[in-house]
Amino acid sequence: MNDPELLALSERLGRALSALGARLVTAESCTGGWIGEVVTMVPGSSGWYDRGFITYSNAAKRAVLGVSAQTLLAQGAVSEATVLEMVDGALRLSGAEFAVAVSGVAGPGGGTPDKPIGTVCIAWGTLGGGRESRTFRFAGDREAVRRQSVIAAIEGAIGWTERPMTA
């Protein structure tokens, strides 16, 4: 992959995490490991990237990250409740202090009136318990939606590095 914008964002995130002495864990659904791929393009990322979980199916979200069946049934895989539980599971299973999780409808199918194509939920959280989530509506084809999701996830993570790790 040769994407200067994603590489620059990843380098910036790596510098910020290194300065804090913190490590990142990722939990990805619609991005399919793309966040993990771009952060590991950075030389030395092993010093600040712990691991990534790709939990594409609902069964994987439940079995690997401990997302509750009730949350998936009531809110759906593409929901802030689900990505918050993904963050919690990723932090619980890793040695990282900081997590980002993504789940969305990248298209070209799968959209609904409530969650059209381009709907992506992202959550960030810390080992200290701070958590935040947002729902985005991205435009474009499947690759564009996924790329915008990666950018939003990393930009949000950079924003979190400017806060105390317990925030």
- Tell me the C-alpha distance between 116 and 38, whole Å: 26
pTM of the model: 0.96
The per-residue pLDDT for 164 is 58
Report, as an integer, the average pLDDT of 154-163: 91
Q: Is the pLDDT of residue 167 over 50?
A: no
Residue range 17-61, pLDDT digits in tens? 999 999 999 999 999 999 999 999 999 999 999 999 999 999 999
The per-residue pLDDT for 20 is 95
Residue range 76-124, pLDDT digits in tens? 999 999 999 999 999 999 999 999 999 999 999 999 999 999 999 999 9
Domains of the chain: 4-161 (3.90.950.20)
Residue 140 main-chain phi, psi, to 5 deg: 115, -175
Query: Is there a contact between 138 and 22 (Cβ–Cβ < 8 Å)?
Result: no
Q: Is the pLDDT of residue 65 over 80?
A: yes
Instruction: Say which residues have a Cβ less than 8 Å from residue 96's Cβ, sequence separation at least 6.
Output: 22, 23, 24, 25, 50, 51, 90, 127
Q: Is the pLDDT of residue 166 over 80?
A: no
